[in-house]
Amino acid sequence: MRRILVVIMSALLGAGLASPAAHAAASEPDIHAVADWNGLALDAVRLTRASDADAARLYALVDVAVYDAVNGISGTYTPALVTGRGPRHANPQAAAASAAHAVLVRTDAARASVYDARLAADLAALHRGVDSGAAWGAAVGAAVVEARAADGSTPVESQPAGSGPGVFRSAWSGAQYRNVRPFAITAPARHVPAAPPAPDSAAYATAYAEVAALGDASVDRPDLLATYQFWSLPAGSVQPPGEWLRIALTVAESRHLRLADESRLAALLTMALADTTVVTVSTKFTYRHWRPTTAIRETTDPAWTARAGSVGGTPEYVSGHSSYSGAAATVLAAFFHTDRIAFAHTTDSAPGAAARTYPGFSAAAAEAGRSRVYGGLHFDFSNRAGLSAGGAVAREVLATALRPRH
């Protein structure tokens, strides 16, 4: 992974601009930079109606910048992207807020005034080392955006519509993400799963029968509909990567994580989610598998309709909801050294619904994946392969990125 060096002018290192790091750390309660600026990133995805792939990339840009800004002052862990050290006495909260601001004003220029106002308020609430922290964070954020400008996420590419048995029938955009430069993993192709079961196999027949029954819109199952809707997360929501970022921030707040730990958690999570996009899109592009609606209508029931009310806009194999969920649950369980952390959550897709309570991250991931079967959008083999692929990506990220220096 290419890393870049950011150097701050020596004037910012002089005495009188900041107190010792211990005093800067004491200012942490004044703002909640990681949660608040991620909240702004989540809002940006909602308002721009970003795709899941674009959303995952934005979250990673923000959180890599925040992490490198904070870690550049403490030097506790290896950098994500930006090497070099920040001013020794800089305020890490100021650095975090300024790094996130630098990313968002460059990626969502239409709302720059919102980000400017928030940064001004955050910096005004801090004490000691604010100027040097803000300058360092701004430099780091700008460097992260510049370093990722040619990562392959643009221009948009489409895969043309296919034809014939087993083949996805529509053109779909976003196919360029199969070639995007990862944030942390080295060989995305290594995580692309094997082909889906052959149409004449027992595994395919079992999955076909299951989705035909559970995903059928004509069958009145309010419980299945509610679960599908809870995790549907269409355009205009924070998308599946954002929902897992929200879960991470909720648990981090309940555990009262220090700024350095919270920024590292968010960076590990969002890098894993962004790199999972590359594997997911590569898999979809490679196998170009048809959706259950097409399969069922062309083989057994021409009138069959998915509970989701749509066919699905990308090739079926694998389920992106599942791959993102597998990656996120793996990162969170590893970071907290246990999967068994109960939490309650309400998604963007069900703002008026009662919060659902989960005994741990894997339980939420399992429900998110199965929701796609209940919606009639995916076969369960695509759910299981997605969970597995996302988990594998996360394990590589955890093994290689943001490691302790000593």
Angstrom distance (rounded) from CA 118 to CA 115: 5
Task: Give whole-number Cα distances, 345 to 245, 354, 398, 401, in Å.
Answer: 12, 9, 25, 28
Q: Check if 4-147 and 158-400 are the same fold.
A: no
Provide the pairing of β-strand 356-358 with 158-159: unpaired
CATH architecture for the domain at 158-400? Orthogonal Bundle (1.10)
- The pLDDT tens digits for 309-352 are 999 999 999 999 999 999 999 999 999 999 999 999 999 999 88
- The CATH label, of 1.20.144, 2.60.120, 1.10.3470, 1.10.287, for the domain at 4-147 is 1.20.144
- The pLDDT tens digits for 226-282 are 999 999 999 999 999 999 999 999 999 999 999 999 999 999 999 999 999 999 999
- The domain ranges of the chain are 4-147, 158-400
Task: Give whole-number Cα distances, 97 to 46, 68, 119, 270, 323, in Å.
Answer: 21, 12, 6, 17, 30
3-class SS string, 138-191:
HHHHHHHHHHCCCCCCCCCCEECCCCCCCECCCCEECHHHHHCCCCCCCCHHHH
Q: With 80 as the cut, is the pLDDT of residue 15 above it?
A: no
pLDDT-wise least confident of 9-18, 37-46, 231-240, 249-258: 9-18
Residue 17 pLDDT class (50, 70, 90 cuts): very low
Angstrom distance (rounded) from CA 371 to CA 208: 16
User: Which distant-in-sequence residues (6+ apart) come within 8 Å of 210 by Cβ?
Assistant: 373, 379, 380
- Closest alpha carbon to 70 in 251, 289, 267: 267
